[in-house]
Amino acid sequence: MNLKDVRAIITGGASGLGGATAAMLAEHGASVAIFDRDEAGGRAHAEAIGGQFYLVDVADDASVAAAIDAGERDGGIARILVNCAGVAPAIKTVNKEGQPHPLDAFRRAIEVNLVGTFNVVAKFAARLASVEPIGEERGVIVNTASVAAFDGQIGQAAYAASKAGVAGMTLPLARDLAQHRIRVVTIAPGIFLTPMLRSLPQAAQDSLGLQVPHPSRLGRPEEYAHLVESVIANPMLNGEVIRLDGAIRMAPR
């Protein structure tokens, strides 16, 4: 699919993996719609890349529906969706004081990372199914899981469960949407230099990077965006979860 003038939605597109992906798509001539809760950052990034910003909570049904309606009015029906919006709580099942994991925190991780991803996928695909294909496909969905889906660490029960759900629904989504000629692929990043990691001391960043077998460093958001570009370009990539992690397998902590 040629990206020029194609409408694309990026959730979590204000910064990090989503921000790099939004910039990559804009550089290739796509019309980019950033869906994010960070209004200031999202508007600034959209302005910088020539896209549009929509204030969206992916876990809220009405919020997503309204943003898709507005985005369609502004730039037409999107053919590309990249879901990067997410939260990453770090809470043990039982803390040092013997208190259980707060259920609302567990539920919020599932609501944003898993339910939110599906919410946007379903609404995006329903709109896209009504337009004519370009060649042999109508469009592409790229979801974001994490290596935590497979080797979650201590304190990652909620996060790992949510990302395992994203990985687990990849194949059934691809099978569901095959009749509409819409592909679905999930990327499972390892340790990437996102805004959260940038807030850590440099020594901590370096230590995390050394855990990666090769290259022994933190992943760059642009490398995630490059894989998104490759997924879009290759029509035989469908129904698969791709680890992007430098061969890391996470230790318990």
Q: Which amino acid is at 149?
A: A
> What pLDDT band is residue 74 in, cutting at 50, 70 and 90?
very high
> What pLDDT band is residue 117 in, cutting at 50, 70 and 90?
very high
Catalytic residue selected from 54, 124, 159, 192: 159
- Work out the number of other CB atoms within 10 angstroms of the CB of residue 76: 14
pLDDT digits (tens, 9 = 90+) for 142-188: 999 999 999 999 999 999 999 999 999 999 999 999 999 999 999 99
Residue 170 lies in a domain: yes
Residue 107 lies in a domain: yes
pLDDT at 204: 78
Residue 189 lies in a domain: yes
pLDDT at 2: 87
Residue 251 lies in a domain: no
Q: How far apart are CA 84 and CA 11, in angstroms?
A: 5
Residue 128 lies in a domain: yes
**Does residue 245 carry a pLDDT above 80?**
yes
Residue 250 lies in a domain: no
Residue 253 lies in a domain: no
**Does residue 200 carry a pLDDT above 80?**
no
Beta carbons of 231 and 140 less than 8 angstroms apart: yes
Q: What is the mean pLDDT of the chain?
A: 96
What CATH code is carried by the domain that includes residue 102? Answer: 3.40.50.720
Active site residue 159: yes
pLDDT at 208: 87
Residue 2 lies in a domain: no
> What pLDDT band is residue 203 in, cutting at 50, 70 and 90?
confident
What percent of the chain has pLDDT above 90? Answer: 92
Structural domains of the chain, count: 1
Rounded to two decimals, what is the model's pTM?
0.96
Q: Which domain holds residue 135?
A: 7-244
pLDDT digits (tens, 9 = 90+) for 221-231: 999 999 999 99
pLDDT digits (tens, 9 = 90+) for 79-91: 999 999 999 999 9
Beta carbons of 11 and 35 less than 8 angstroms apart: yes
- Report H helices in the chain: 16-27, 39-49, 61-75, 103-109, 116-128, 148-151, 157-168, 170-177, 195-198, 202-210, 221-233
